[in-house]
Amino acid sequence: MLEFSVKSGAPEKQRSSCLIVGVYEARKLSEAAETIDKSSGGYLSAITRRGDMEGELGDTLLIHGVPNIQAERVLLVGLGKEREFDLPALLKATTAAVKALHYRGTTECVSHLTELDIRGVELEQILRQSALAIDAAIYRFDQLKSSPDPAPRRPLRKVTFITPSRRGLLEAENAVREAMAISSGIALTKNLANLPPNLCTPSLLADHARKLTETHPHLAVEVLDQSRMETLGMHALLAVAKGSTEAPKLIVMEHLGGEADTPPIVLVGKGVTFDSGGISLKPGLDMDQMKYDMAGAAAVIGLISIVAELKLPINVVGIVPTVENMPSGNALKPGDIIKSMSGQTIEVLNTDAEGRLILCDALTYAKRFKPELVIDMATLTGACVIALGRVPSGLFSNTRSLAQELIRAGETSGDRVWELPLWDEYQAQLKSNFADMANIGGREGGALTAAAFLARFTKDYKWAHLDIAGTAWVTGDNKGATGRPVALLSEFLIKRARG
């Protein structure tokens, strides 16, 4: 986590070990670069003229010995075509700049990229998303390597963002303060999600939730164990846990920052710490990735840490049902009929559709908080990844205005969602001959029938469901957790807190 601050002022006057300024294609200096070029007698334009920096997006060039400036060196960063310059381009350039400096012994820098104007994007988002992109660029999860990949000898620690004018500096400072809280929440989410499943068990998640109260004593954290859940009748959740030697937990975290009698926003996160599929065992390929089946839980824990850190003046409750889904002689079987906490019975036709089984009891439990609204986040279906790929999270909601608010928060934060239908017609696919419903609805519309299943348990409140199966982590060479949808929901909650 870096330290970020804001400032306004002329580039040639910045005392820093490195000044970051942009160059558009082809060789067009940004305003800050232009200013430095003038005061240095054409030092920068001489370099671009030689062809060392064309301005291609993400290209970087470190320059020493620039005369008449206070900074020790200047990092030129390509911004791409000026007409096409937008927020994603800014973030790409920022990421490239930081990666270039991180390994060069620069512990501190001043960036003029944040003073570039982007139509339709507020300074607050430019600052916040720049900070998040920088932290994401240098994030690593190497705590379990005996000799971590060569770490920078003197890593980047502090970044100062230059703002276009002195006006709004207070808001800019606030934006950066919020960004740092969001960023550390995202890092917590990623760290939990990246942990291997032998370490990241339901009990460990509970310990991490409890640990939040050390830094944030105003949080109330309660962990319900198996016997409490039995008393409550959470037999759907408990059924999933039966095959595992790991004890199931229901983690409840309360941040009461608003008036005592205002109904809370309840966040629910799927916490399957490993999803083998159970008796309906998954194929072996990529099964390791099912350690990420608790990414929703990690996001809720991260979000609670953010609202607590920012002391948002709203009431927020986090609920994390957490289990391990394993095959064994004691495991849940296809054909089993279980009774959920709501009283509705479920015929389990596939033990790999376990997420909805733990979520339905958590969503029923949510009722006791008389919520203003409930948002659940879950790596729920492979079908959602087929439908939407890995760009947006799937959004379902029983309340139009809530869906719209989330779509907008997604566009603002860049952590986007795409709405899918929550229509009654899909309920027919969940028909069971022997129970109130089956836990699967066949191959067609798998993400939609999963949402339709949850909808049977959320009739009493405003509710949105985020299927984050395609967005919570990335595969391939950079395999790792993304921290989504923490940025989206931070934006949503901060907006709500402002009223």
Residues that bind ligand BES (CB under 6 A): 275, 293, 350, 352-355, 379-383, 385, 440, 446, 469
Number of residues that bind Mn ion (CB under 5 A): 3
491 part of the interface to Mn ion, by CB under 5 A: no
Minimal distance, residue 470 CB to ligand BES, in Å: 7
Of 210, 282, 339, 367, which residue is the catalytic one? 282
Distance, in Å, from the CA atom of 459 to the CA atom of 132, rounded to the nearest integer, reads: 36
Q: Closer to Mn ion at the Cβ: 340 or 397?
A: 340
Quick note: the x/- pattern for Zn ion over 351-370, rule CB under 5 A, is ----x---------------
Nearest residue to ligand BES, by Cβ distance, number only = 382
The amino acid present at 219, given as its one-letter code, is L
If you compute the radius of gyration of the chain from its CA atoms, what whole number of angstroms results? 25
Minimal distance, residue 283 CB to Mn ion, in Å: 12
Distance, in Å, from the CA atom of 211 to the CA atom of 221, rounded to the nearest integer, reads: 9
Within 218-277, the residues that bind Zn ion by CB under 5 A are: 272, 275
Contact 247, 324 (CB under 8 A): no
Distance, in Å, from the CA atom of 302 to the CA atom of 297, rounded to the nearest integer, reads: 9
Which two structure tokens, joined as six digits, stand for 30? 């940004």
Is 443 a catalytic site residue? no
469 binds, among Mn ion, Zn ion, ligand BES, none (CB under 5 to 8 A by kind): ligand BES
Q: Give, for 29, the enclosing helix (H) or strand (E).
A: strand 28-29
Helix residue ranges, H only, 247-327: 295-309
Question: Following DSSP, what letter does each residue of 374-401 receive, concatenated?
Answer: EEEEE---HHHHHHHTTSSEEEEES-HH
Minimal distance, residue 438 CB to ligand BES, in Å: 10
Minimal distance, residue 277 CB to Mn ion, in Å: 6
Q: Is the peptide bond before 196 cis (omega within 30 degrees of 0)?
A: no
Minimal distance, residue 454 CB to ligand BES, in Å: 13
Which two structure tokens, joined as six digits, stand for 386? 């087929």
Q: Closer to ligand BES at the Cβ: 121 or 474?
A: 474
268 binds, among Mn ion, ligand BES, Zn ion, none (CB under 5 to 8 A by kind): none
Tokens 């799927």 identify what position? 270
Contact 211, 192 (CB under 8 A): no
- Count CB-CB contacts under 10 A for residue 431: 12
Of 73, 190, 249, 356, which residue is the catalytic one? 356
Q: Closer to Zn ion at the Cβ: 256 or 287?
A: 287
Q: Closer to Mn ion at the Cβ: 304 or 323?
A: 323
Count the helix, strand and coil residues of the chain and give each as a percent rounded to the nearest 5: 40, 20, 40
Show Cβ contacts of residue 150 under 8 Å, excluding neighbours closer than 6 positions: none
Q: Closer to ligand BES at the Cβ: 155 or 327?
A: 327
Which two structure tokens, joined as six digits, stand for 478? 């950079």
Within 249-288, the residues that bind Mn ion by CB under 5 A are: 275
Quick note: the x/- pattern for Mn ion over 311-350, rule CB under 5 A, is ----------------------------------------
Minimal distance, residue 165 CB to ligand BES, in Å: 46
Within 347-366, the residues that bind Mn ion by CB under 5 A are: 352, 354
Burial of 286 (0-12, 13-18, 19+ CB in 10 A): exposed
Contact 278, 243 (CB under 8 A): yes
**Using the rule CB under 5 A, which residue among 293, 324, 376, 467 binds Zn ion?**
293
Is 356 a catalytic site residue? yes
197 binds, among ligand BES, Mn ion, Zn ion, none (CB under 5 to 8 A by kind): none
Q: Which residues bind Zn ion (CB under 5 A)?
A: 272, 275, 293, 355
Active site residues: 282, 356
Q: Which residues bind Mn ion (CB under 5 A)?
A: 275, 352, 354
